[in-house]
């Protein structure tokens, strides 16, 4: 998905590059750059690669919604860094938007934790309510039921106790 997004973004970026006549200026800008600027450029490239690698790996372990919230929250932190360190322009509306985005990310994280805790409690209650003979019958029914492969998300949630190992009755 990251490759697809970057590939699609490459087309308008290239068009804008030529509209503003940037390529002829490159030679002069690279010649005038200091060693500190080259180190900053290299560092930026390494960090960009690491962010992309982390994003690809992160997608395996969280839902699509969680990934979108994580991406938006990360963009807010990049915006704050630009405003505080790089002296980017900002106004009241953009600050309000960043605050709303951050609060939304925090609320989503809190809601996911609450949902996970409720699922753990529900699973623990269900396991404690059945007697030994009922557990054996249920285990036999589950063993006889046709198996379908579990998704990676389900397996991850099972490891954290959010999804029970047995189907609901």
Output the pTM of the full model. 0.45
Q: What is the pLDDT of residue 169?
A: 47
DSSP per-residue letters across the chain: -HHHHHHHHHHHHHHHHHHTT-HHHHHHHHHH--HHHHHHHHHHHHHHHHHHHHHHHHTTTS-HHHHHHHHHHHHHHHHHHHHHTS-----HHHHHHHHHHHHHHHHHHHHHHHHHHHHHHHHHHHHHHS-HHHHHHHHHHHHHSPP-PPPHHHHHHHHTTSS-SS---
Q: What is the pLDDT of residue 60?
A: 81
Query: Rg (Cα) of the chain, in Å, rounded?
Result: 25
**pLDDT tens, N- to C-terminus, the chain (169 residues):** 667 777 888 899 999 999 999 889 988 988 999 999 999 999 989 988 888 788 878 888 888 778 878 777 788 888 888 888 888 878 888 888 888 888 888 888 888 888 888 888 777 776 665 444 455 565 555 555 555 555 555 555 555 555 455 554 4
Q: What is the pLDDT of residue 152?
A: 53
């Amino acid at each position: 998905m990251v490759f697809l997004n970057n590939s699609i973004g490459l087309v308008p970026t290239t068009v804008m590059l030529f509209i503003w006549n940037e390529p002829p200026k490159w030679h002069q800008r690279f010649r005038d750059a200091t060693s500190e600027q080259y180190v900053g450029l290299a560092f930026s490239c390494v960090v960009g690669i690491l962010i992309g690698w982390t994003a690809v790996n992160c997608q395996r372990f969280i839902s699509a919604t969680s990934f979108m919230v994580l991406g938006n929250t990360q963009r807010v932190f990049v915006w704050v860094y630009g405003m505080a360190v790089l002296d980017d322009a900002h106004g009241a509306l953009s600050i309000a938007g960043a605050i709303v985005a951050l609060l939304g990310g925090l609320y989503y994280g809190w809601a996911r934790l609450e949902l996970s805790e409720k699922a753990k409690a529900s699973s623990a209650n269900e396991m404690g309510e059945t007697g030994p003979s009922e557990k054996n019958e249920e285990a036999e029914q589950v063993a006889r039921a046709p198996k379908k492969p579990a998704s990676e998300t389900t397996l991850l949630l099972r490891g954290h106790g959010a999804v029970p190992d047995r189907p609901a009755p």
